[in-house]
Structure 1
Amino acid sequence: MRSIDEIRTALADGSAVILTASELKKRITQGDTVSDVDVVTCGTCGVMSGTYAVLSVPVAPPGTFSRADTISLNGVPAIPGPCPNERLGLVDLMVFGTAHADDRYGGGHLFHDLIAGEEIHIAVTSAGKDYEAYVTLSDLPFARLFTTRSAFKNYSAIINQSSGPVKTIFSALPLQGTSTQATVSGCGEINPVENDPTLRFLSAGSPVILNGAGGRVIGTGTRSSPYRPNLSVHADLKEMDAHFCGGFRTAAGPECITSIGTAIPVVDTDVLSSLSVLDCDIAMPVVDISDRQPVGTASYEQVWTGTATRVLYHPERCLHCSPCDARTACPVDAIREDGTINQTQCFVCGTCVQICKGSVYEGNFGSITYEGAGIPIVLRQSDRRRAEILCRRVRDMLVRGEFQI
């Protein structure tokens, strides 16, 4: 259809036709032509456990201590090293997005707070003595975010076939038994890997946008397979946007929200064929939480077609529970003290809809089909609305020359 160089020229002179994945899918379902499209932007946003950061943190003047034995950031434990930085007062460290300070604050929250410019408390022990400091991201000489696996081509729907509830990272509240509830992840037809399943444009070294910052693909991640590939990526923490990352509390402790976007050049019909995938075409295995083995199959059409893109608020229905169950349970603290929703912060996960006794919060989150019956989806651990914002962000970066294919 066209070469990479021709598309780059069109991008440079402003004549390129750039569509987000959602815009392309809309054209396809309406039967409109797509032969004029040069580039399609894709994105995903969701809970991605395999996220970690490597930081270099100044703690004290040189000579204050030899090397750090332990270190924490806002109470989140980190791993000092591998470089000891002996007597420099500087600690290189690794901190996992799934590390916990407590049951409400973890590594994902820490990454968000760092990127948002907030002051972070550092606590170090060395040779039996304690040291502390307060730093912001601008104080760190090195700060880079990595993923060990992210943006799976497709995820699984989780159910609980046992008789009793189970606390799991796949549910904000204990997942009820006897297959009465389902939780889901993945942004379906707009996910980068779903639109480039052979990783033709997502191979090692390819550019991506990680939490709003320009980064690179390292390669495939852990548990990647030809059927369900995923990515390992990295980018500079200092260039990221806090809107695209954060913490997400689950019944088994805090998890980490990560967003990944990219742009796919439409160079031939094979690429266009991959880009034409729709939610209804994407199989989603249904697995039991006990052993994570498939027991059935659903599709992303059941997750995203005709379901809520925002949670509605009905204050007249409020029963004035104290404390407010919805506010306490919200995985991203999007419900204010007066019960209203911070729509910018809201993850549209469905937890408040599930738990509120007065039905103050409303939204259709769909259901999956299992053994001929519908199982209601009580939690979405991916935010497609935010992923679409990222798709538009990547499009705008292409137009401004801030992202290259």
Structure 2
Amino acid sequence: MSKYAVEKSFAQINARIKSGEVVVVTAEEMTAIVQEKGAVAAAREIDVVTTGTFAPMCSSGAMINFGHSVPGIKASHVLMNNVPAYGGVAAVDCYLGATEACLDDPLNKVYPGEFRYGGGHVIQDLVAGKTVYLEATAYGTDCYPNRRIEKKVTLQDLPNAILCNPRNGYQNYNVAVNSTKKTIHTYMGTLKGRMGNANYCSAGALSPLFNDPTYRTIGLGTRIFLGGGVGYVTWHGTQHRPTVERAPNGTPVRPAGTLWVMGDLKQMSPRWLVGVSIQGYGCSLAVGLGVPIPILNEEMARYTGVADDALFTQVIDYGEAYPNGDSTSLGQVSYAELKSGAITIDGHTIPTVPLSSMVRAREIAETLKEWIRAGNFQLGEPQFTLPMEAV
């Protein structure tokens, strides 16, 4: 006998999507439903819960094939708008990383260490239909004698362009503060001295992996919203740490799981892939990502019904501790507190600053909901789910 009062399969839910009978809500809507009706009733009523997040995700990039030249070339060094791309892949393949900086960035010439343009901006320019200047050099071989090519390309000119992001959608993350006297600049943004602000980067209850905290439905082959198009989870992301401390509701209270995601760049939009420049840190790419969560049983209903006041994370000092590898928490706070605009640590009230956009996260969840309702997006059943053990 099953331990669940309600049981559904991916196939059953996909059949309901195809027939137009599917019932789909966003994670924020599901929270209210579970609170009002309970997990069992919610599981009977709801088939899919949609999630969303939009924030800088540094571990992102694109695998690009820029086409053979005549005569052929085996490129070893590649530049795209003077941003280096890694050429040690194959003849005319390269990987353009989101955080790679432009070699002649005008901002860097005035303020060393500051960059206005990088790999993330090149990716945004490509999906926006703009022309990108490509240079490739090589040492020359008998089969690939060409030693240099220069050409202007658009996304449509490229034979292949795949967004390939090794670490996206972090399942929870630190709140960053700075206890020193001076202002510092980090990948978590600018942090004022004496804990003048607290920066965080998560959509909380809308965030994908908070809605499936133990990875019951997410893994290889999960179909997702990625950059405005359709993408897939292809592996657990780098720095996947599923064994961190968890709250009684199953959600981690520290940075935990991550996603490795891929998708066809030619389907994507500059609204959902945005190059960003972070003061004193460098370049990155803001990525729009949304994962549909199938409500297979009341356990999944319960997971997707967790509200911001039951999701917690740690406050970490990026001024003294973090640079030295110390992740000792100064205090635990909920996402409800963070979203209220201020938190209290050791009796001090600190204003909070989100690096992720709740407006865009809601838009992703709503867009994914409409795709599913219209029958244009079926769920991808994973071949295997993300690991819960240490990797």
Report what 2:65 is aligned to: 56
| Alignment partner of 1:43 is 2:78 | no
Q: How much does 1:28 deviate?
A: 4.0
Q: Structure 1 27/169 Cα, relative in aligned 2: closer, same or farther at 3 Å?
A: same
Deviations 1:182-234 (A, max 9, x none): 11101100111000011111112222221122222122112111231111111
| Alignment partner of 1:396 is 2:354 | no
Q: Is the 8 A contact 1:44 1:192 kept in 2?
A: yes
Structure-1 separation of matches of 2:345 and 2:81: 43
The letter of the residue matching 1:144 is I
Structure-1 separation of matches of 2:118 and 2:205: 30
Q: Is the 8 A contact 1:169 1:255 kept in 2?
A: no
Give 2:339's match in structure 1, choosing from 300, 304, 307.
304
Deviations 1:61-90 (A, max 9, x none): 311x6432321111211111311x2xxxxx
Give 2:343's match in structure 1, choosing from 358, 368, 374.
368
Higher mean Cα deviation, 2-11 or 247-256?
A: 2-11
How many percent identity over aligned positions? 29
Q: Is the 8 A contact 2:99 2:284 kept in 1?
A: yes
The letter of the residue matching 1:54 is M
Q: Is the 8 A contact 1:284 1:297 kept in 2?
A: yes
Provide the secondary structure at the position in 2 that maps to 1:233. Answer: strand
Q: How much does 1:30 deviate?
A: 5.6
Report what 1:3 is aligned to: 8
Report what 1:279 is aligned to: 308
CA RMSD between the two structures = 2.0
Give 2:269's match in structure 1, choosing from 235, 241, 248.
241
Q: Is the 8 A contact 1:123 1:130 kept in 2?
A: yes
The letter of the residue matching 2:173 is Y
Report what 1:194 is aligned to: 210
Q: Structure 1 272/28 Cα, relative in aligned 2: closer, same or farther at 3 Å?
A: closer
Structure-2 separation of matches of 1:78 and 1:291: 33
Q: Is the 8 A contact 1:196 1:271 kept in 2?
A: yes
Structure-1 separation of matches of 2:28 and 2:217: 19
The letter of the residue matching 1:92 is D
Report what 1:261 is aligned to: 290
Q: Structure 1 291/78 Cα, relative in aligned 2: closer, same or farther at 3 Å?
A: farther
Report what 2:247 is aligned to: none
Structure-1 separation of matches of 2:311 and 2:163: 30
Provide the secondary structure at the position in 2 that maps to 1:118. Answer: coil
Higher mean Cα deviation, 290-299 or 388-397?
A: 290-299
| Alignment partner of 1:71 is 2:89 | no
Gaps spanning 5+ residues in structure 2: where? 1-5, 106-114, 141-146, 245-255, 380-391
Q: How much does 1:400 deviate?
A: 2.8
Q: Structure 1 297/30 Cα, relative in aligned 2: closer, same or farther at 3 Å?
A: same
Q: Is the 8 A contact 2:34 2:302 kept in 1?
A: no
Q: How much does 1:31 deviate?
A: 6.0
Alignment of 1:3-402 (within 5 A): 3-4=8-9, 5-28=11-34, 34=42, 35-58=44-67, 61-63=69-71, 66-83=73-90, 85=91, 91-101=92-102, 102=105, 103-127=115-139, 131-171=149-189, 174-226=190-242, 227=244, 228-251=256-279, 252-289=281-318, 290-292=320-322, 293=327, 294-305=329-340, 366-377=341-352, 379-402=353-376
Provide the secondary structure at the position in 1 that maps to 2:18. Answer: helix
Report what 2:252 is aligned to: none
Structure-2 separation of matches of 1:255 and 1:288: 22
Deviations 1:115-172 (A, max 9, x none): 111111112234597642110000111111112111112111101111212121211x
Higher mean Cα deviation, 184-193 or 198-207?
A: 198-207
Structure-2 separation of matches of 1:177 and 1:80: 41
The letter of the residue matching 1:264 is I
TM-score scaled by length of structure 1: 0.78
Q: Is the 8 A contact 2:27 2:305 kept in 1?
A: no
The letter of the residue matching 1:50 is S
Provide the secondary structure at the position in 1 that maps to 2:163. Answer: strand
Gaps spanning 5+ residues in structure 1: where? 86-90, 306-365
Aligned length: 334
Structure-1 separation of matches of 2:88 and 2:70: 17
Q: How much does 1:243 deviate?
A: 1.1
TM-score scaled by length of structure 2: 0.80
The letter of the residue matching 1:263 is P
Provide the secondary structure at the position in 2 that maps to 1:302. Answer: helix
The letter of the residue matching 1:296 is G
Provide the secondary structure at the position in 2 that maps to 1:80. Answer: strand
The letter of the residue matching 1:206 is T
The letter of the residue matching 1:195 is N
Q: Structure 1 242/164 Cα, relative in aligned 2: closer, same or farther at 3 Å?
A: same
Q: Is the 8 A contact 2:16 2:22 kept in 1?
A: yes
Q: Structure 1 287/140 Cα, relative in aligned 2: closer, same or farther at 3 Å?
A: same
Q: Structure 1 72/269 Cα, relative in aligned 2: closer, same or farther at 3 Å?
A: same
Q: How much does 1:29 deviate?
A: 5.0
